[in-house]
Each structure stands twice: as structure tokens, then as C-alpha cells.
Amino acid sequence: MPDSPVVPTYRDPHEYDHRHSDVSGGWLRAAVFGAMDGLVTNIALIAGIGAAGAPRSTIILAGLAGLVAGAFSMALGEYASVTAQNEQVDKEAEVERSALDRNPIGEMQELSITFRDMGMSEETAAKAAAEVHDNPERALRVHVTHELGIDPDSKPSPWIAGISSFVMFSIGAIVPLLSFLFGSSELWLGLAIGGLGLVVAGGLAAHFTGKAWWRGALRQLLFGAVAVAATYLVGRLLGVNAA
């Protein structure tokens, strides 16, 4: 008697072929934003007050004050903005839930048209829409995903966004202060270290997105240079040399 054919066991391709980064948590955008903002803010701040002739102690005080104020501002802003975004998603989901309760047939036909626009045959689209609507929560999730372009079950965390922003802003803001904290009074050295921080941060951000590291590094260095040039010029025009 011939052996029965072996039916291959299904394996999720994400287990052996490829993996995706977490793009729904909100940490990467907040972390990159925080780090770049911390670097650019304090490099520019140091450039302005240094160009005005402020002594080392004043530069350190201003830089640390900028670090604390900026870190809390970024964290609270991220938390509030992500929370507001999530609340808007919840509101729109409730609008769709109400529509599904009032007009289930019309909503099912709408979903069937969406499936046809994605390339399904009319018969397959109708069957798929009917199957989706067998479960109200599944129907809600599918409708919201297709109509709003978001998954209501994969919203970013405001806590993760806020904490990521706070930590990375603080790290970015301390970099241009390092030389002053270790005893140097040379403005050019602080700016150079800050510029190196921009290069590293830009390169790391590009690594996470799969882009060329040098492009990200050069872009951030250029953005920082614009801010530094502007504040340095203001400091030179308006500042007074300290005794």
C-alpha cells in the first residue's frame, strides 16, 4: 500500500523569512524627534549665548535650563498629542459603529465595493464582505481600517511616546554641553561636539528606516547648521561681552 502523501505544515513566514519593525508603538518618531530637537535646541542656544560673550558658567546654566524645560515640554507635548490622536480614532470608530448598527446592509455593500476595487471578483467580494459582517467587531475593525487607513487596535501609546521623547531630548541636549561640563570654555569645541552628535543621531535614524546613513547624517548636520548660524548671528549682533 503506497504511503500517504505528506501534507506540509504551515509556518508563518515571519518566523523564518522576514520580520517587521514595530511601527505602531510611536517610540521611533518620538525618539528621533526628541533627540534631534534636544541637539539642535541646545547647540543653537549655546551658539547664541556664546557668541554674545557669555562666560562658561552662564553657558552651562542656560544649557541645563534648556535641557530640563525642553525635555518636559517635549514629553508633555507628545503625550497630549498622541492621546488626542487616539481619542479622535476612538470617536471615528464610534461613528462607524453607529453606521453599522443603523444600516448594516448598506455598509456591507460598501465593503463589497471596496473589495472589488482591490481586485476581487464581484462574487468573491460579496462573499468576503458577508463573512466579515458575520462578526460585528470584525466588521467594525475592517471598516475603520479601510476607510480611515488605521487599525483601531494598534494605536500608539502616549506613555511610550512621552517617555521616549523625554529621554532622547535629554540625551541630545547634554551632548553640546559636555566640553563645558568638563572644564572647557571654547565655544567651537562645544559646537563641534554638538555637530558630531547630529551626525551620529542622523545616521542612527537612517539605519532604522533602511536609508543610507550618510544621507541622514548630512541632512541633520545641515539642519543644525542653519539653526546655529541664525542664533550665532543674533548673539553677535545683540550680545555684550561679559567682564
Could you read off the pLDDT of 156-187 as tens digits, one per residue?
Answer: 899 999 999 999 999 999 999 999 999 999 99
Contact by Cβ (8 Å): 73, 207: no
pLDDT band at 2 (very low <50, low <70, confident <90, very high): low
Taken in order 62, 63, 68, 69, the sign of the CA dihedral is positive
Instruction: Name, in order, each residue with C-beta under 8 angstroms of 70's C-beta and a sequence gap of 6 or more.
Output: 37, 38, 41, 42, 169, 173
Taken in order 51, 53, 54, 55, the sign of the CA dihedral is positive
Rounded Cα distance between 16 and 197, Å, is 36
Reply yes or no on whether the pLDDT at 44 is more than 60: yes
The full length of the chain comes to 243
Q: Which of 11-15, 89-93, 132-136, 150-154 has the lowest mean pLDDT?
A: 11-15
> Quick one: residue 135, left, alpha or beta (phi over 0 = left, psi -120 to 50 = alpha)?
beta
CA 177 to chain centre: 25
**Cell for 77?**
507635548
Rounded Cα distance between 111 and 102, Å, is 15
Rounded Cα distance between 37 and 52, Å, is 22
Integer angstrom CA distances of residue 124 from 117, 131, 139, 177: 12, 11, 17, 63
pTM value is 0.79
